[in-house]
Amino acid sequence: MRLNRVTIENFRSISNVTIKFEPRCRVLVGINESGKSNILKALSLLDTEKTIGDEDLRESSTDEDIIEEGEISFIFTLDDEDRTRAYEILKKKVLGDLDANPIIEIDKKKLTLLQYFSYKIETLYRILFIVKAVRGAIGYKRIFQF
């Protein structure tokens, strides 16, 4: 599995940024207080043991509406082993014969589950966090999507 890019919205000091990860070089540079540590903190949320707190939602500036939600999206490309593992997990959880019946359409082609996983597709892992207006606490959920 390879991380291709991450999009960070309303997380700490970051309003909106997309970072692409090239296979050959990964360097994060910037002036002091430019958000490098906040990018690393966002990346650390791939660890399901890490949590999001009140301090992680970006504070709105005086000319903005109140910010109520933020999002961090991780886009991966799965290798053959990852695709096979994901296919086997889904095959056990979904009812019906997914290898015989098309389940999705891509590029005007109807594909079975097995055919879908044979594509070199990207996978989205999203963390959405929202302020609950009543208590001011942050609720968040992790979403794994293909």
CATH number reported for the structural domain that contains residue 25 in this entry: 3.40.50.300
C-alpha distance from residue 19 to each of 47, 62, 70, 98 (Å): 19, 27, 16, 35
Q: What is the pLDDT of residues 78-126, one digit of tens each?
A: 888 888 888 888 778 776 776 778 877 877 888 887 777 776 667 666 6
Q: Which two tokens stand for residue 2?
A: 């390879």
Give yes or no: residues 12 and 69 share one domain.
yes
Tell the burial category of 74 from Cβ atoms under 10 Å away from its Cβ (0-12, 13-18, 19+): buried
Give yes or no: residues 60 and 30 share one domain.
yes
How many folded domains does the chain comprise?
A: 2
Give yes or no: residues 31 and 13 share one domain.
yes
Give yes or no: residues 69 and 50 share one domain.
yes
Give yes or no: residues 63 and 8 share one domain.
yes
Rounded to two decimals, what is the model's pTM? 0.71
Give yes or no: residues 74 and 93 share one domain.
no
Q: Which is more confident, 62 or 144? A: 62
Query: What is the distance between the alpha carbons of residues 30 and 2, in angstroms, rounded to a whole number?
Result: 24
pLDDT number for residue 127: 67
Q: Which domain range does residue 61 map to?
A: 2-78+121-145
First-last CA distance in the chain:
13
Give yes or no: residues 141 and 112 share one domain.
no
Give yes or no: residues 71 and 100 share one domain.
no
Alpha helices, DSSP H only, in 1-146?
A: 36-44, 80-93, 113-118
Q: What is the pLDDT of residues 25-43, one digit of tens each?
A: 778 888 998 889 999 999 9
Give yes or no: residues 23 and 58 share one domain.
yes
Give yes or no: residues 105 and 62 share one domain.
no
Give yes or no: residues 51 and 18 share one domain.
yes
pLDDT of 76 strictly over 50: yes
pLDDT of 17 strictly over 50: yes
